[in-house]
Amino acid sequence: MIRTAFAYERPDTIEAAVRLLAATEGSGRVLGGGSVLVPAMSAGEEQPSLIVDVSRLAGLRTIRENGTNVEIGAGVTYAALEASSVVTDRLPLLAAMVREVTGGPGLWNLATLGGAACRANPASDGPGCLVALAAGFRLQSVRGVRIVAAERFFHGAYETERAEDEILTDLILPAASWTTRTAYVKVKHAASSWPIVTASCAFAPGKGVRLCIGAASPVPILTEWAATEWPGADRVHEMAQQAAAAMVTEWADELAGPGYRRAIAATVAARAIRAVTEGMA
């Protein structure tokens, strides 16, 4: 049993949820799926005064098409993302990433992409993919609502732009039809392992290429090339080297010690770029 006492609230509205959270002055925690927070409480790593369970707020569990955007509620589970034809049809890069999340159906039916974003574990699938997708993060608090761009959302390992009194309500994903080719590639050492390095690549004719290396450093590494710089398969190696060279700080953990991620980042990036370029004239 969790060792420290806490209060538990399951508010019926997002407005009530942010009021409850604000009143704790930083000691409250938002319970989405629970796949990270609950075991952290079991281990004594998190000792919140209040749990605000938002897992049933209907508005947080919907996937909505809004013009050229797709808005994904922060409480949408990986299983719901995988089952969504909107995600499959309009966000193939996200769909590819979701299919690669480990944990099995017992986790996919529970865990949320929004929760993973707020956790900001460097060695996880969500952050890199969301940066590649140019996601917007809608944050709500008693002070109001704001939308933060992905490049500004992830501050460092386990640190985000989200303030302690804010709840992530939606991921806003540009899903214009011109993003025609995407690839998600990752290295992990066992089927049930957290990722070591990920690479998300998206090519949009007339716009260019976005490549994001995830899990290799505390925050995802984004590199963009304009469409005019797209010469095809012969530049894959050079582009991958360029993307990996943008790494400043390397992330290291028990799965891959210092030097490992830096050594393989360009290779993983090259695989993603190659997957996108293959078959192109």
Partner 1 sequence: MSATAGRPTAWLRCQVNGRAVERELDVRLLLIEFIRDTLGLKAARIGCLTGDCGACTVRIDDQVTKACLVLALSAEDRKVTTLEGARDLAAIQQAFVAENGFQCGYCTTGMILTVAELLQSNPDPTDAEIRRALIGNLCRCTGYEPIVAAVRRASATLQTATPVD
Distance from chain centroid for Cα 271: 20
Q: Does 8 bind partner 1 (CB under 8 A)?
A: yes
Residue 7's CB is within 10 A of a number of other CB atoms, namely 12
Instruction: Name, in order, each residue with C-beta under 8 angstroms of 2's C-beta and a sequence gap of 6 or more.
Output: 41, 42
Q: Does 38 bind partner 1 (CB under 8 A)?
A: yes
Q: Does 106 bind partner 1 (CB under 8 A)?
A: yes
Q: Does 104 bind partner 1 (CB under 8 A)?
A: yes
| CB-CB contact of 91 with 175 (8 Å) | yes
27 versus 241: smaller Cβ distance to partner 1: 27
**Amino acid occupying residue 87:** V
Query: Could you tell me the smallest distance in angstroms from the CB atom of residue 118 to partner 1?
Result: 16
| CB-CB contact of 133 with 92 (8 Å) | no
Query: Could you tell me the smallest distance in angstroms from the CB atom of residue 150 to partner 1?
Result: 26
Distance from chain centroid for Cα 42: 24
Query: Could you give the angle at the alpha carbon of 83 between the alpha carbons of 79 and 88, nearest 5°?
Result: 120
Residue 128: what are its φ and ψ, rounded to 5°? -60, -40
Q: Does 2 bind partner 1 (CB under 8 A)?
A: yes
Instruction: Name, in order, each residue with C-beta under 8 angstroms of 240's C-beta and a sequence gap of 6 or more.
Output: 266, 267, 269, 270, 273
Q: Does 95 bind partner 1 (CB under 8 A)?
A: no
Give the one residue of 42, 62, 66, 241 binding partner 1; rule: CB under 8 A.
42
Q: Does 6 bind partner 1 (CB under 8 A)?
A: yes
DSSP-assigned letter for residue 24 = T
Token pair 């799926």 is found at: 33
> Per-residue x/- mask for partner 1, residues 166 to 195, rule CB under 8 A?
-------------------------xx---
Q: Does 85 bind partner 1 (CB under 8 A)?
A: no
Query: Could you tell me the smallest distance in angstroms from the CB atom of residue 97 to partner 1?
Result: 15
Query: Could you tell me the smallest distance in angstroms from the CB atom of residue 262 to partner 1?
Result: 27
61 versus 235: smaller Cβ distance to partner 1: 61
DSSP symbols for 73-102: ETT-BHHHHHH-HHHHHH-HHHHHHHHH--
84 versus 223: smaller Cβ distance to partner 1: 84
Instruction: Residue 167: name the closest of 6, 9, 21 by CA.
Output: 21
Give the one residue of 24, 55, 88, 267 binding partner 1; rule: CB under 8 A.
55
Give the one residue of 7, 147, 226, 245 binding partner 1; rule: CB under 8 A.
7
Q: Does 10 bind partner 1 (CB under 8 A)?
A: yes
Choose the binding region for partner 1 from 104-112, 117-125, 161-169, 263-271 (rule: CB under 8 A): 104-112
Could you list the residues that contact partner 1 (CB under 8 A)?
A: 1-12, 16, 31, 33-35, 38-39, 42-43, 51, 53, 55, 79, 102-107, 109-111, 191-192
